[in-house]
Structure 1
Amino acid sequence: MSGIQRFHPAFLVVELVSFVKGIFFVYFFLFVLKAQSTSGWVVWGRYILIAWSVWAIVNIFLKWRFHGYEVTERTIVLHEGVLVKTRRTAGLDRVHNQTSNTTFVHKWFGLTSLKLETGTSGDHGEIEFPVITQEEKERILSLIGLQQQENGSREGDEFFEAETVRTMRFQSKKKDLIRASFTSLSFLAIFPLLSAAYSNLAVFFNLEDGAEGAWDYLVLHWWMLIILFVIALLISSVIGYVRVYLKYGKFTISDDHDKIYIEKGVANVTHFSIPKRNVQAVVVEQSILKRLLGLASVKLISAGSSELESEETSSLYPFLPKHEAYRIIQDMLPHYEIQEEMRRFPRHVLWAKLLRPYYVIALSIAGFLIFKPTFLWVSAILFMVSIILRVLDYTFTSYIRHGDLIQIRSGALTTETFVTHKRRIQQATVTHSWLQRRFGIATLSFTNRADPTHVSELYGVSREEAGEFYDWYRQKSASS
């Protein structure tokens, strides 16, 4: 198709709603909570906010009027800028991943959004269509598939879903959503909201005296306090479940020979796909609560995608039972086999960790001595917390090399198990400080392709193990 295409007029509504969502609480604070305030910063804040809002609305219209795109058989050309025009071109064969997100505003108009990731670092690594019809989306994806097929790639299979046989690996059920609601602690969200609402209302309606009388009454009639607490907890649980359902409802994980597909959401529907050959590493995270419940969150680090922006989309269901998560990974990515038994570090590594400098503690002591000597005891508490965290980090840190894989686990309150293939490591470095040399240990670090580059570190490996790893890594060219 030739000629510049402008985005659908619904672009104005989508961008305006997004702006209002981002600015709503600032308006609420300045014009509602601070409605009676005549402070200079509040008054000027209102003027600046109104001026900024007017400019943002005008800018939304200008972007819709002057931005556009062209899609040819081989390239996508984006026309951007209002005062300074820019023209950005990307080859269809450079597209690695695609994400489609349909918010409730998109649903009003029967539209969706499309984001294509090309693998280029920086701001120009993504091609985004904020508002697009389903038909136009399918047309673009079909052109990408045809172009990639011409280049000898199988990535076109993703875009011809009728010809692709997918295997369903996971589909969220009611019990999964209840478990997610409990694990995320979203059922407790109502209590800080009630506290904030009471504090704000008390300012306007002088509720303090009445509240003290009501509290004295409830203390005398404690059974009513229990009933009110249970009712509030039930309401909060329902609200928490609804929030989780809207975010993780209809969550599915599937795959075919070449791709992994993730679909999720009820209010905002997200479709994400990633080529298996682009997976650089697998990360399994467990918080304290998840470890107690035997749950885990699995993320895929992919070449050609932003680690920060795709945190949600490239994550498998974040409340999977650990062994089920391992099974799904093994089924979809047979080359990434996660081992349960790993090697722990000897005791002298713990002493090396404990003797490392405590820079934050030193700064806190200096700060308290200068500004608030009476609070110097806080530094002692921080010092004890730092020691506990280092002991926990030593306790949970372990590693193993098996075949062409290396697997490391680290963390104190939240543990992270990182698994990558020798061929996916871009660079390996072995360093050792003066303190480490005294203990005969070193720090092993290696990088994987991502945006930004993902760096993994393992503190405390012996010099012999560091040398063996370096020799193992150098053999990757021969083994690949």
Structure 2
Amino acid sequence: MTAGPPVPPDPEDAPSASMPGGAPASIDPASTATAASPPRALVRSPLSDGEWHRMHPLTPLFRGGFALVVVAGIIIANFRDRLIYLFLPDELDGEMPEDPVDFVIDNNLILVALLAVLGIVLLLIALFYVSWRFHTFRITGDDVEVRSGVLFRTHRRAPLDRVQGVNLTRPMVARLAGLAKLEVVGAGLDANVKLEYLSTANAEAVRADILRLASGARLGEAGTDAAPRAGSRVSAAASVVSAGITGIIDGAEEPVAEPASVVHIPIGRLIASRLLSGSTIGLVVAIIAIIVGSVLGTPWILFSMVPTVIGFGAYWIRSITKSLRYSIAPTPSGVRITFGLFTTVTEIVPPGRVHAVQISQSILWRGFGWWTITVNRLSGRGLADTSTDQFTTVLPVGTRADVERVLRLVLPHLPESEWPLIFEHGVLGPTADDPYTNSPRRARLLRPLSWRRNGFDLTPDALLLRKGFIWRRLAIFPLARLQSIQIAQGPVDRALGVANLHAHTITGPVSGSLGIVDRDAALRVFEAAEAGVMTATAGDRSHRWAGDEAHASDQDEHRDA
């Protein structure tokens, strides 16, 4: 099924202005729509024409799924004994339990009960219909907008020039119906705009349109897609369930004309990396300590451990399932990352949206040659959203070859001459001809294990911070995304002539702190980084990464005309 016909704008949502005296001045809605919408001849998807459209008709059912689960739970709780008697009569000694069904039959209220059930069903259908009618979206040349709510209206807008990415999420149940949720990632706290739900085909087409508009290019250059015929809805509805079941096996994006993943993670490596994680080791140590404590005289401690084990087990399994079917590949609109076994999430990170990259390796992984890559990027989510961490890991576990492939995707503009600074000197260093500026020998007592590795290097494109012995880390900060640099000293630092360097970027798992470096070297990198950031920012074109191309195309068309 496809989205409904265009919805005329509500009168209260029409733009208005005021005259100097305070009287409202009318604005022609037709001229407003024409100015806000891209030309119809250049629109690729029928849903990206600047008009208001409704979500998929099944949207209220999936958005209100939790309420339906609660209602089903109440019904099952009231009829639990009857269900047990129906399937296992011996468990209740052959006696039928009393429940509301017996009351209805004994008092001859069958017709009243059926009418009540019918009324509730009709009320739910009416509520779902009204909710669907008032849940609309539109895509203009400047914004993605969503309106929802009946009594309390909500109008959210995401400017296209501030789009940080577009995520396509397919929960397992929604996949059976061929639906997907689109989330436009904004550049602020709780700034995301969600289009839930659309058919998978429409969601992919709309995502491509949003990314193309955000790039500064025109939709017409991508061609036009044929709109689905009205007569094909019956056959589409008949095959949607089987297509959803096939999608669980093949993946959310199959088949899609996208390049294959540059990294493939074996399931054995993924499970082994979780077993060799710090959280697993910590849990084992805690279990041993509790067992020893119970043997020595406090056995009740064992019971307090059960919820912890169950919770950790659920977390451990979830960390594996969300990394299954992982893939990462380049696309014309950015880096496409897919992950998740049951609920599949596909996100596309446009160029220039990664603010920091970190390669890290635990001492437990060192013998296997495994690393993980995390990034700092705007997620557009609220502080209470616990799912933000899954959007910061771009490589859960990989070999050196995997790390290099992923880095070339998330840092595409890094010159070839600087790559030895990343892996040879940064991740595996220090080497004999180490180009990094490391902690001085006089301060080795403050970093007894890592003072030889603890250092930095500044290139014309990035600031590199290398640290850690037990946990090897290399943090890469593109200068075009760097916000500021701070130098701090404590009383011990002043006595030893060292300082602490801190690169400021957006909040994320990548830390910009580097302690115990030579004070004079820190001052030099402070001044050099200031000039480097200004130069890199002036030459950065990633904000509208296809703008130059679109401008050149417009000039060519003008010359041809």
Normalised-by-shorter TM-score class: 0.5 to 0.7
Which residue pairs with 1:322 in the alignment?
A: 400
CA distance in 2, matches of 1:244, 1:303: 22
1:52-451 matched pairs, under 5 angstroms: 65=131, 68-74=135-141, 75-80=143-148, 84-119=152-187, 121-123=188-190, 125-145=191-211, 147-148=213-214, 151-152=216-217, 166=259, 168-172=261-265, 176-185=266-275, 246-256=321-331, 258-302=333-377, 309-330=387-408, 333-336=411-414, 337=419, 338-341=422-425, 342=430, 343=436, 344-351=438-445, 353=446, 391-392=448-449, 394=451, 397-411=454-468, 413-448=470-505, 450=506
**Shift in Å at residue 403 of structure 1?**
4.2
Contact 1:99 1:273 in 2 (8 A): yes
2:520 aligned to which of 464, 477, 480: 464
Q: Which deviates more, 99-108 or 287-296?
A: 287-296
Contact 1:2 1:70 in 2 (8 A): no
Q: Which structure has the bigger radius of gyration?
A: 2
2:7 aligned to which of 2, 5, 20: 2
Which residue pairs with 2:80 in the alignment?
A: none
Contact 1:181 1:240 in 2 (8 A): no
| TM-score of the superposed pair, with normalisation by structure 1 | 0.61
One-letter amino acid matched to 1:112: A
**Shift in Å at residue 408 of structure 1?**
1.2
CA distance in 1, matches of 2:377, 2:504: 13
Relative distance call for 1:138 and 1:114 in structure 2 (3 A) is same
Contact 1:446 1:456 in 2 (8 A): yes
In structure 2, list runs of 5 or more residues that go unmatched.
1-5, 9-52, 74-123, 226-252, 288-298, 300-313, 431-435, 540-561
**Shift in Å at residue 325 of structure 1?**
0.7
Contact 1:6 1:65 in 2 (8 A): no
Matched position secondary structure for 2:322: helix
Q: Which deviates more, 328-337 or 103-112?
A: 328-337
Matched position secondary structure for 2:396: coil
Contact 2:461 2:478 in 1 (8 A): yes
| TM-score of the superposed pair, with normalisation by structure 2 | 0.53
Relative distance call for 1:105 and 1:395 in structure 2 (3 A) is farther
- State the Cα deviation string for residues 380-429 of structure 1 (Å, max 9, x = none): xxxxxxxxxx6456565333334432211334654432012222211112
Identity of aligned residues (%): 17
Relative distance call for 1:424 and 1:146 in structure 2 (3 A) is closer
One-letter amino acid matched to 1:347: R
CA distance in 1, matches of 2:508, 2:520: 31
Relative distance call for 1:290 and 1:82 in structure 2 (3 A) is farther
**Shift in Å at residue 134 of structure 1?**
1.5
Say what the alpha-carbon RMSD is for the aligned residues: 4.4
CA distance in 2, matches of 1:144, 1:284: 31
**Shift in Å at residue 292 of structure 1?**
3.3
- State the Cα deviation string for residues 51-78 of structure 1 (Å, max 9, x = none): xxxxxxx9xx799938623214333322
Return the structure number with greater strand share.
Answer: 1
CA distance in 1, matches of 2:379, 2:504: 15
Return the structure number with greater helix share.
Answer: 1
**Shift in Å at residue 269 of structure 1?**
1.6
CA distance in 2, matches of 1:311, 1:429: 26
Matched position secondary structure for 1:461: strand
